[in-house]
Amino acid sequence: MTLSTKSFEIFCGTGGVGKTTLATSRAINLAQQNLNVLLITIDPAKRLKDLLGLSADSLGEVVPVEVNGTKLNALLMSPEKTIKRMARKFNTPDLENNRIVQILSKPYGGMNEILSMVEVQMQFDTGNYDVVVLDTPPGAHFLDFLESLNKIRNFFDQNFVEIFTYLGQKTAKAGKKVFGAGLINRVISGGVRKLLSYLQAVTGAQFIDDFIQAVQVIYQSREAFLKGLALQDKLKSREQCNWFLVTSVEQGKAQEAVEIRSHAAHFIHQDHFLVLNKCLEFDLVTWHPTDLHLIQIKDSLEKREQDLKKQLKGLFPFVLEFPEIISLSPSDHLLHLTEKWKSYVI
């Protein structure tokens, strides 16, 4: 089987299957082909930080790294740093200064997936990279990552454009500029007056003003968000994106992969790859036990793995097999997995 290189390479799957390690080894493999590679992880576990020996100061910054003589760039996703980059690029300093935006851009503040899409697009737009390898969050968080595109679309649909038109109007009142006065009057005159008063009591007197300003500055940066939305077409394209759904031979993991693909079927194109990690076959063929009990264990392991592979090859268009690496050294893992990628590349 041969594997061609695309502009985007997406790794997804449940936790504990070696997804981040495989994404990292793939990035190294691509860099060894003289390609400029950026490896991004939005997995909150920050496994990539440990694999590449990155410091805490590197969070949210593109960092050049070298692994076994191979050079590439890595980025540990930070929503707060993405907001800062957006503010600089689109000249909207209020975006990073607004209190509500600051809360939403915390690692678990609700904007992580959306800002990840924006970050990927901004980095690709620099023209510095031939390939962006993306390590997505595990399991259900990966589905949130995909759904972030719909969230962007819904936020900037025509109804919101009309609201922002109100917000963009500056009305002189009591000797000062009031933003979105028309909308505020509508809100306060509606049934949410009491709710807003409760929120204001909890968050402070500036809550409503902060909220209105947050909506304004987000809309002022809409170009970045809408570019993130446009990324959807590239990720769905067979010509521009490789999808790797990672699982392992461990009990139950493969079924989780099937379920994830089912939920994301409207997004992942048909020419995707199932990456079956931690395969024992590579070691079992060289193991020749003489003890009857050990022989039975070997036969059982071989049969279970062969049956699983047969089942998965009937469900997925392409299955890539990677061995279990018995080592405590992360560099050993990367070295062996990178070598294995070479067998799938033209």
C-beta separation of 319 from 312 below 8 A: yes
| pLDDT tens string 52-86 | 888 878 889 999 999 888 999 999 988 889 999 98
Tell me what pLDDT residue 346 has.
Answer: 56
- Please check whether residues 106 and 174 belong to one and the same domain: no
Q: Is residue 105 part of a domain?
A: yes
> What single string gives the DSSP state of each residue in 59-91?
TTSEEEEEETTEEEEEEE--HHHHHHHHHHHTT
| pLDDT tens string 273-302 | 999 999 988 888 888 999 999 989 999 988
- Please check whether residues 129 and 175 belong to one and the same domain: no
Domain count, the chain: 2
Tell me what pLDDT residue 28 has.
Answer: 96
Q: Is residue 2 part of a domain?
A: no
- Please check whether residues 240 and 200 belong to one and the same domain: no
Structural domain boundaries, residue 233: 8-155+222-342
- Please check whether residues 210 and 321 belong to one and the same domain: no
In single-letter form, the type of residue at position 278 comes to K
The sign of the torsion formed by the CA atoms of 230, 232, 234, 236 equals: negative
Strands (E), the chain: 8-13, 37-41, 62-67, 70-76, 131-135, 170-173, 176-179, 241-248, 273-279, 318-323
Identify the CATH number of the domain in which residue 145 sits: 3.40.50.300
- Please check whether residues 202 and 147 belong to one and the same domain: no
- Please check whether residues 306 and 273 belong to one and the same domain: yes
- Please check whether residues 13 and 105 belong to one and the same domain: yes
Q: Is residue 240 part of a domain?
A: yes
Q: Is residue 247 part of a domain?
A: yes
- Please check whether residues 204 and 226 belong to one and the same domain: no
The structure's pTM equals 0.81
Q: Is residue 161 part of a domain?
A: no
Mean pLDDT of 92-119: 78
C-beta separation of 82 from 105 below 8 A: yes
- Please check whether residues 132 and 259 belong to one and the same domain: yes
Q: Read off the pLDDT band of 31 (50, 70, 90).
A: very high
Residue 99, Cβ density class (10 Å: 0-12 exposed, 13-18 middle, ≥19 buried) = middle
- Please check whether residues 204 and 277 belong to one and the same domain: no
